[in-house]
Amino acid sequence: MNNKLGIVVKDEKVVVSSRDVARVFEKPHNDVLKTIRALGCSETFALGNFSQSSYFNEQNREMPEYLMTRDGFTLLAMGYTGARAMAFKEQYIKAFNKMEAELKDRGMFGEFAEQIPKSMSEALILAGQLEEKRAALAAKVEQDAPKVRFAESVETSHTSILIGDLAKLLRQNGIDIGQNRLFSWLRESGFLMKNGSSRNMPTQRAMNMKLFEVKERTINNPDGTVRITRTTKVTGRGQVYFVNKFLGVDAVAQ
């Protein structure tokens, strides 16, 4: 049952991948990711119960996923309704309980044992807390929908923009910054080279994160010589990353 549901032990925690939740509940994985990102739970709860991870799809492209604990899964699944969904939720909770009990018996749980409800009253208190968070979820999902659609459309866009245009995009999102200050920030933050002929070219780190691309242009001079110019442009992925970075949103390049 645990293998079917995708529940595993990682870093002494019993967790399940958002991909497996999407598979079992027959939901698009992107929809599950959106719901997790819009849960609105506290930073402490999120850090303890949702871990960002990644996997490689069939095209060998690195894609995002979340590994969640039982409490994280419970918060997520509260919005899933219907008899079939309820049956799967019960199976998940039963499987989580079984694996957590096995870990506790082997002395592997340590500090995490304190988070497991030990009685019906504790479980009801937890359920009440989760219900309060669920009540705010629908409104937040609706409120964030335009931002989510914008981010997805930009991230999947094949159109790269100049860094000056990125500064304009940041200003549209309430960030007071101009082109020169943005160039300086990108250099000081390790995204662009600082010195020499490679000044303002992407660092290897930034290229590995797929935040930029370099466009080369060949120019034939009147004297017959050839000059090659290179221009740094921000990819769709980079646009989403830097907007989130400046807004203080979790900006892990996915």
Q: In which order are the strands placed within the sheet that holds 212-220?
A: 161-162, 226-234, 212-220
Tell me the HSE value of 148 on the side-chain side, using a 13 A CA sphere.
Answer: 15
Listed residue (38, 51, 47, 50) closest to 133, CA to CA? 38
Structure confidence by residue, pLDDT tens digits, 198-244: 899 999 999 999 999 999 888 888 888 888 889 999 988 888 888 88
> What average pLDDT does this structure show over 239-254?
69
Q: What is the pTM of this model?
A: 0.40
Residue 253, token pair as written in the block: 């390049």
pLDDT of residue 130: 64
Q: Name the residue with tokens 């991230």.
A: 155
Asked whether the predicted pLDDT for residue 163 surpasses 90, the reply is yes
Residue 26, token pair as written in the block: 């027959």
Other C-beta atoms closer than 10 Å to the C-beta of 115 total 15
The string of DSSP letters for 39-102 reads ----HHHHHHHEEEEEEE-TTS-EEEEEEE-HHHHHHHHTT--SHHHHHHHHHHHHHHHHHHHH
Structure confidence by residue, pLDDT tens digits, 80-105: 777 777 877 778 888 787 777 776 66
Domain spans, the chain? 2-155, 161-247
Average pLDDT, the chain: 79
> What average pLDDT does this structure show over 21-38?
91
Confidence of residue 254 (pLDDT cuts 50, 70, 90): very low
> What average pLDDT does this structure show over 240-252?
72
Measured CA to CA, the distance from residue 77 to residue 32 in angstroms comes to 10
Give the end-to-end CA distance of the chain in Å, rounded to a whole number. 30
Confidence of residue 126 (pLDDT cuts 50, 70, 90): low
Listed residue (240, 32, 229, 247) closest to 154, CA to CA? 240
- Helix, strand or coil for residue 177? coil
pLDDT of residue 162: 94
